[in-house]
Structure 1
Amino acid sequence: MADTSVTPSFTKAILTALPRLVVRLPLDLEHRIQVTQADQRLPMALQNEFWQAVVDREPDPAIGLAIGSALQPAHYDLVGFLVMSSPCLADAADGLVSYSALIGEGGQFYRQHRDGAWRLTYQADFRIARAHRQNAILAAIMQGSRWLVGQDLAPVAVGFEFGQPAHLEPYRHCFGDARLNFGQQAAYIEIRDADWQRPISSGSETVQHQMRDLAQQQLQRIHPGTVVDEVRQLLRQKPALGRAQIAHLLAVSERHLTRKLHDHETSYRELADEVRRERALDRLADPRLTQDALASYLGYSDASALAKAFRRWTGMCMQAYRRQSRMR
């Protein structure tokens, strides 16, 4: 079930941007949002009321593009800083997927590899102001991605649920020459493989660890999961994490962690193997990635240890798997 609240930071950032876009909301509504503390959650009913007020004053969903594009790095909350401290764009996208419950605005992010590009899909769970909100989220992702890796970042395609509008200029201004696909089942942005692996110059492993720890605590408060879910999420963010590191991040002893995982009929070794396989197949889409670099990212002692695991997962070596993937 989707969470019935959202982080207030995104909404407050939009309130800051609206006057510049000549959109004024009722003062009472603004006050009820502004008094929400940063460590609290904004009820979805209030968020829906907020967006309905935006629609009432500006019915054109293109205003959502202007809203998302107007947001600045300082407007992003904890998960925003987690994303900005990632080593590359792919890891930043993984942060969006893993922490959708914190920053998904009542929706969920997914990623999928297809035709030489990565598709980051946003599936909304709300009905009110659906087109406005999805446009704001797509534009914010595009804007944020360009801050991270460079203003020349250009998507391959962008998808929208609603039909094609009469005027495409706002969409071209936001997404450049990307294919604009209207009437889709969900909103999405597609990024080329090479761009997906672009490094983030400001990435800091120390900051990322701190932000991930805090984000994990927030997620646990609003979206309690099993210890298996928690371990899997941490490994997806950093597959090289060892059992002791996982236990430390979850504030339990290694013995307690082992026992809790056993209660769910699994183990750290099984979960780590599952996630490393998933991440290895994802990362192989980047033709520039070397076997040594992938081994280090996944936490293997050397390339030969990874090669042995990869053959166990797929029945073939990585070179053969890459050749087969290019032929599909």
Structure 2
Amino acid sequence: MIGTSPTVTHLYAQAILQAAQRRGITLSDDITRQVVPGQRVPLAVQDRLWEEYCQAVDDPLAGLEIGLALQVGHLDSAGMLLVSCDTLREGLEALVEYAPVVGDGGEFSISEDADWISLCYRPEYRVRVAERVDAVMASLVRLAGWATGEAFRPEILLLAHPSRGDGVSYRERLGMPVVFDADCNCLQCHRDQGDLPLIQANSALRDHLRQLADHTLESVGHQSLSGQVSRLVREHPNWGKERVASELAVSGRHLNRLLADEGLSFKVLRERELHRLATELLQAGQTVVVVSERLGFSEEAAFARAFRRWEGVSPARYRSGLSSGE
């Protein structure tokens, strides 16, 4: 982030204050009064919150407990966006893109191969790193379980730090094997888990929350590369990878490498935005021909094939269903 100081949403900072309250701990007024509703909290203040809280509780599993108690609302609009997506895979991709809404200090990436989905987290802070990583990874397990109606079955959690206290306690609380002193912090699950539907899926709410999250990222001067690519595709749906890359002053190949660092690809982002635009335009009453041209398809048949892949029905039938109230 350029020209701005790192911050976190006040809602995430409140998670620590609430944890202290549950334990009957009073934190310093000069710290707590800096957590103001509606105002982002400087990361330096969050550092002090973590330090003072961990010193007061003197519990090696303090971070784990905070993570397991975390609610969707503590993650601001990014949390609501995650759980309003259609599938777990889409929700995790949204988390990678919009994590800075929650706060600076760490970065997510997602990768997928023939067997596994891996969601990794790289912390960038220096204060109470192990406790905060515990909180982040535990919150992912909890929220993914809640969002899928407890259908989520993660396979293993890798943590880069040594075991804090009794390693068995991690497995008991998280319900999965935990490996310590790993090369990275990574939650892994079988690939088919990505297809799990989310119980709070709501496409209209999801799209609205994306707009709010985009606004938040812009207001704090932090828009991820994937966010910039998504914006350009929405504004210029007929642009291909090379044209978008040129606008961002990089080559197409370099753009792919940079997006891969975020666990995404240009193809995935472009497909997602075209899909979203197509449904929005059809819902607004635009004809199939107009939408096809607006999205830059060479012919209507090509658009119809793509739309059928996205929605499972032809665009004409989708539009007809809207008008008939199906």
* TM-score calculated relative to the size of structure 2: 0.70
**Residue equivalent to 1:78:** 77
**Residue equivalent to 2:294:** none
CA distance in 2, matches of 1:165, 1:68: 15
Q: Following TM superposition, by how much is the alpha carbon of 1:106 offset from its aligned partner in structure 2, in angstroms?
A: 1.1
In the alignment, which of 267, 270, 277 is matched to residue 276 of structure 1?
A: 267
**Residue equivalent to 2:22:** 20
**Residue equivalent to 2:111:** 112
In the alignment, which of 222, 225, 229 is matched to residue 232 of structure 1?
A: 229
Is the contact between residue 86 and residue 208 of structure 1 (CA under 8 Å) also seen in structure 2? yes
CA distance in 1, matches of 2:82, 2:62: 25
In the superposition, relative to structure 1, how do residues 277 and 218 fare at CA in structure 2: closer, same or farther (>3 Å)?
Answer: closer
What pairs up with 1:1-328 in 2 under 5 angstroms? Answer: 1=1, 4-33=6-35, 36-38=36-38, 40-114=39-113, 116-176=115-175, 178-224=176-222, 230-234=227-231, 246-247=234-235, 263-264=247-248, 275-276=266-267, 300-302=303-305
Is the contact between residue 87 and residue 198 of structure 2 (CA under 8 Å) also seen in structure 1? yes
Q: Following TM superposition, by how much is the alpha carbon of 1:155 offset from its aligned partner in structure 2, in angstroms?
A: 1.4
Is the contact between residue 83 and residue 93 of structure 1 (CA under 8 Å) also seen in structure 2? yes
CA distance in 1, matches of 2:61, 2:85: 30
Is the contact between residue 119 and residue 191 of structure 1 (CA under 8 Å) also seen in structure 2? yes
CA distance in 2, matches of 1:184, 1:31: 38
CA distance in 2, matches of 1:230, 1:164: 36
Report the AA paired with residue 16 of structure 1: Q
- Structure 1 stretches lacking a partner, 5+ long: 236-242, 281-298, 307-328
Is the contact between residue 101 and residue 223 of structure 1 (CA under 8 Å) also seen in structure 2? no
Q: Following TM superposition, by how much is the alpha carbon of 1:215 offset from its aligned partner in structure 2, in angstroms?
A: 0.4
CA distance in 2, matches of 1:115, 1:175: 25
Q: Following TM superposition, by how much is the alpha carbon of 1:115 offset from its aligned partner in structure 2, in angstroms?
A: 6.4
CA deviations 1:84-131 (Å, max 9, x no partner) are 111111111111110122224410000122561211111000010001
In the superposition, relative to structure 1, how do residues 174 and 152 fare at CA in structure 2: closer, same or farther (>3 Å)?
Answer: farther
Is the contact between residue 11 and residue 73 of structure 2 (CA under 8 Å) also seen in structure 1? no
In the superposition, relative to structure 1, how do residues 208 and 163 fare at CA in structure 2: closer, same or farther (>3 Å)?
Answer: same
CA distance in 2, matches of 1:276, 1:102: 24
Is the contact between residue 160 and residue 186 of structure 1 (CA under 8 Å) also seen in structure 2? yes
CA distance in 2, matches of 1:175, 1:37: 31
Q: Following TM superposition, by how much is the alpha carbon of 1:225 offset from its aligned partner in structure 2, in angstroms?
A: 5.2
Q: Following TM superposition, by how much is the alpha carbon of 1:194 offset from its aligned partner in structure 2, in angstroms?
A: 1.6
Is the contact between residue 85 and residue 206 of structure 2 (CA under 8 Å) also seen in structure 1? yes
In the superposition, relative to structure 1, how do residues 182 and 67 fare at CA in structure 2: closer, same or farther (>3 Å)?
Answer: same
